[in-house]
Amino acid sequence: MRSEQEMMSLLIDFAENDDRIRVVTLEGSRTNKNIRPDPFQDYDISYFVTDIDSFKENDRWLRVFGNRIMMQKPENMELFPPELGNWFSYLMLFEDGIKVDLTLIPIDELDDYFTNSDGLVKVLLDKDARIKNEVIATDRQYWIKKPTAREFDDSCNEFWMVSTYVVKGLARKEILFAIDHLNEIARPNLLRMMAWKIGSERGYTFSIGKNYKFINQYLPIEDWENLLSTYAANGYQEMWQSLFTCYELFRKYSKAVAASLEYKYPEYDKDITEYTENMNASLP
């Protein structure tokens, strides 16, 4: 696998020698001082260019970055509609394991780029000194945020209501329906509540990572193991147990958040839990 120094030199040197490229930025985890570097980090690179169509005419110019084993061009797909407007991206995986996500952006959208940036940006090249203010990468936008009373109540409401869809799916023997509602809505609210409790204890000045990937560093080992157990979904009994474990964890963490922030804890917890227990007991 090529080193970071090799890759950065390759990406910047190419831009320096192409007059169409005026600014180069690096985004994502490689700009985040709070993330421990590892070989699996993508190179999230943006080239701000004067003539984007000339790059899109063919892909031969991308060969300079190495031998690819796969490439995706999200803005050139039919099944998944493009979301980047005038931007165009190349997601490339190379044979040595390096992954580069390279985005072409019209140079006249430079100001919009910084206005809408998530903060994790480092300027690598600015040929025309277009960027007047110092850019310092920060993950502040991803810090745990203190919930308002309404946000807390909304999360509780969403968790407990959607849990009844999981119950319905299990009762009907529609396990994929049940799994999707647990995975896509119910558990994310559990993870959000866990993050809020962590923030209430440690302050709201740090991130626990994309997809809550560092949350295990802040949970008691028993709760972490119980959380992992809720991903068991290979049968109906396993799904019922996962749901009940989610109930226990959500109740524990939401009550702690309510107590810490002096918010009202919802009474429907008791009714929904009883409803779920009765449904489970009544099934053959």
Q: Mean pLDDT for the chain?
A: 96
Contacts of 73 (CB under 8 A, 6+ apart): 88, 89, 90, 91
**Secondary structure element (H or E) that encloses residue 124, with its range:** strand 121-126
Give per-residue pLDDT as tens, 116-151. Answer: 999 999 999 999 999 999 999 999 999 999 999 999
Same domain for 215 and 109? no
Q: What is the mean pLDDT of residues 176-184?
A: 97
CA distances in angstroms from 22 to 34, 43, 118, 164, listed in the order given:
29, 19, 21, 54
Interatomic CA distance for residues 89 and 151, integer angstroms: 35
Both structure tokens of 160: 């407990």
Residue with tokens 């959607």: 162
Q: State how beta strands 88-94 and 99-106 pair.
A: antiparallel
> 256 and 199 share a domain?
yes
Q: What is the pLDDT of residue 284?
A: 78
Helix axes 268-282, 149-171, angle to 10 degrees: 10
State pLDDT tens for residues 8-21. Answer: 999 999 999 999 99
State residue 81's pLDDT score. Answer: 84
Last residue of a domain, one of 141, 160, 181: 141
What confidence category does residue 42 fall into, taking pLDDT thresholds of 50, 70 and 90? very high
What does the DSSP assignment read for 246-276? HHHHHHHHHHHHHHHHTPPPPTHHHHHHHHH
The reply to whether 137 and 183 lie within a common domain is: no
Q: How many CB atoms lie within 10 A of CB 268?
A: 12
pLDDT at position 257 is 98
Question: Given a cut of 90, is residue 209 above it in pLDDT?
Answer: yes
Here the CATH number for the domain that contains residue 25 is 3.30.460.10
pLDDT of 141: 95
Task: Note down the domain range covering 190.
Answer: 144-282
Structure tokens at 69: 């084993």
Q: What's the confidence (pLDDT) of residue 283?
A: 86
Say if residue 125 is in the same domain as residue 253: no
Asked whether residue 158 falls in the same domain as residue 237, the answer is yes
Number of domains in the chain: 2
In the numeric block, which tokens belong to residue 280?
Answer: 């489970």
Give me the pLDDT at residue 155, please. Answer: 98
What is the SS3 string spanning 46-84?
EEEECCHHHHHCCCHHHHHHCCEEEEECHHHCCCCCCCC
In contact, 45 and 121? CB cutoff 8 Å: no
* Rounded Cα–Cα distance for residues 21 and 64 (Å): 15
Question: What percentage of the chain reaches a pLDDT higher than 90?
Answer: 96
Residue 85 pLDDT grade (very low, low, confident, very high; cuts 50, 70, 90): confident
With a cut of 90, say whether residue 82 has pLDDT above it.
no
Whether residues 90 and 156 share a domain: the answer is: no
Q: Span 151-158, mean pLDDT?
A: 98
Q: What span, in angstroms and rounded, lies between the C-alpha atoms of 164 and 196?
A: 24
The predicted structure's pLDDT at residue 130: 96
For residues 49 and 21, state if they share a domain.
yes
pLDDT of residue 121: 97
The arrangement of strands across the sheet holding 121-126 comes to 68-72, 88-94, 99-106, 43-49, 21-27, 121-126
Helix axes 221-229 and 236-261, enclosed angle (nearest 10): 140
What is the arithmetic mean of pLDDT over 85-108? Answer: 97
Are 70 and 62 in contact by the 8 Å Cβ rule? The answer is no
Q: What is the mean pLDDT of residues 97-121?
A: 96
Are 97 and 205 in the same domain?
no
